[in-house]
Amino acid sequence: MNSPDTTVICSAKGCRAAAVWVLAWNNPKIHTPDRRKTWLACEEHREHLSQFLSVRSFLKDVVKLEEWEARES
């Protein structure tokens, strides 16, 4: 995760908006069950990105970025 003073950008292709959400996901074919990959999403792309992950059954959690950072520390 980036340091708190760096603006984190949405992971959606071509999007330069500041991320507000963290999507935690896991691909059971390549990751151990406790492993979490993260995508960042702005308000606009949260639905799109979480849909992409959930149809593949990869999506584990969607949390606000500030909440995620609080968990990590």
State the residues that interact with Zn ion by CB under 5 A: 10, 12, 15, 17, 42, 45
Nearer to Zn ion, 42 or 59 (CB): 42
68, two tokens:
């995620």
10, two tokens:
């949405």
Nearer to Zn ion, 1 or 18 (CB): 18
45, two tokens:
């792309």
Which of the 8 DSSP states describes residue 44? T
**β-bridge pairing 59-64 and 21-25:** antiparallel
CB of 17 to Zn ion, least distance (A): 4
Nearer to Zn ion, 15 or 65 (CB): 15
CB of 30 to Zn ion, least distance (A): 25
Name the helix (H) or strand (E) containing 33.
none
